[in-house]
Structure 1
Amino acid sequence: MANTWLPPAEYIATLPRATAYACLYFTDTDGRPFQLRATYHTDLWQWPGGNMDPGETPWQTAVRECQEETGIAFTGEPRLLGTHFVSHRGEEWPANHIGFIFDGGVLTDDQLARIVLDPDEHSEFKVRTLAEWQREMTPRNFARLAEIDRARRSGTTVYVETGADI
């Protein structure tokens, strides 16, 4: 049987679809994770970040989205804490979703006081201990938070998979 190579556009059309997001993971000076409450789903807490725009790298996306959502002009170096794979979510979101979570470092009390949220995207921010976040979040989302926090504390990188629900 002869190998038949498809032109790139035809080959790409056969591959699974995926979108990508990138974000920054911050803690306060006591090591408590910082998260934002989404306006479009009030039970959802997330890190400053969002979907990649055409032509952006994951790092550029994380820095841009952080600035837009919090007013924080992040100037640190990229350090990947983990990747997150969300399986296909049906017709509501007909593609897999891949996330890149970068280390944003530590926010001081002064930096936290200067945060300006985009009211179209987030209604509030909080810093809490992992135990406090566990009571506030869905089990799947908390598991992702706990894995990223573990990666930060241990200096490792993690890979996390979750299913379609939030």
Structure 2
Amino acid sequence: MSATWLPPEQYAETLVKATAFACLFVTDEHDRPVQLRAVYSQDHPWQWPGGTMEPDERPWQTAVRECREETGIVFGGPPRLLAAVFGLPGAQWPYNTVGFVFDGGRLTAEEMASITLDPEEHDEVRALAVEEWRAHMPRQDFARLEAVMAARRTGTTAYFDTWDWGDGDC
């Protein structure tokens, strides 16, 4: 044992800090990604239903809760991880970011029509073909969308580790 051993609570203070998020990736009946336009973010205008984990909450619980709060859709599962997302801190955010993207399935036309947005968070919902999203998203957001679509198609979980906050173009 090292002479510099610290009690767990002191050691924890020396570690890198991170925030965590979880979301559900959904498509419509035509396999077009569904995204919500955020009223609070010009840097990342189009997002999947999801958000920051709360204390004592697991990633799957976060994704389901946030989807319900943001769209009114109650998703029951089962949990299927499509992607793990990681980003380094930068000028826009002082902590590492760790994210979990779960498969929320395909929404029927009736489910799409029933989406009720929280106007304090989102003001529009769209379903577009993947390539149509390119014009509406920053480069990194679109790359993440492509990685998640490939993960869903192949069944292989994506690891997307370039969600950095450093250059403003994430």
**TM-score higher than 0.5:** yes
Match of 1:14 in 2: 14
Q: Aligned runs of 1:1-166 on 2, under 5 Å?
A: 2-42=2-42, 44-90=45-91, 92-161=92-161, 162-164=163-165, 165=168, 166=170
Number of aligned residues: 165
Deviation string 1:119-143 (CA, Å, 9 cap, x unpaired) is 0000101000011001211111000
Give TM-score scaled by structure 1 length. Answer: 0.95
CA distance in 2, matches of 1:94, 1:131: 32
CA RMSD of aligned residues (A): 1.4
Aligned pair in 2 of structure 1 residues 72, 2: CA closer, same or farther (>3 Å)?
Answer: closer
Unaligned stretches of 5+ in structure 2? Answer: none
TM-superposed CA distance for 1:93, in Å, is: 2.1
Aligned pair in 2 of structure 1 residues 2, 62: CA closer, same or farther (>3 Å)?
Answer: closer
CA distance in 2, matches of 1:153, 1:49: 21
CA distance in 2, matches of 1:117, 1:86: 27
Give TM-score scaled by structure 2 length. Answer: 0.93
- Spell out structure 1 runs of 4+ moving beyond 3 A: 1-4
TM-superposed CA distance for 1:3, in Å, is: 4.5
CA distance in 1, matches of 2:145, 2:88: 18
Deviation string 1:124-165 (CA, Å, 9 cap, x unpaired) is 010000110012111110000100011001111011022213
Identity in percent:
53
- When structure 1 is superposed on structure 2, of 16-25 and 81-90 the one drifting more is 81-90
2:64 partner amino acid = V
TM-superposed CA distance for 1:89, in Å, is: 2.1
1:128 partner amino acid = L
CA distance in 1, matches of 2:133, 2:120: 23
CA distance in 1, matches of 2:62, 2:90: 23
Unaligned stretches of 5+ in structure 1? Answer: none
1:114 partner amino acid = S
1:99 partner amino acid = G
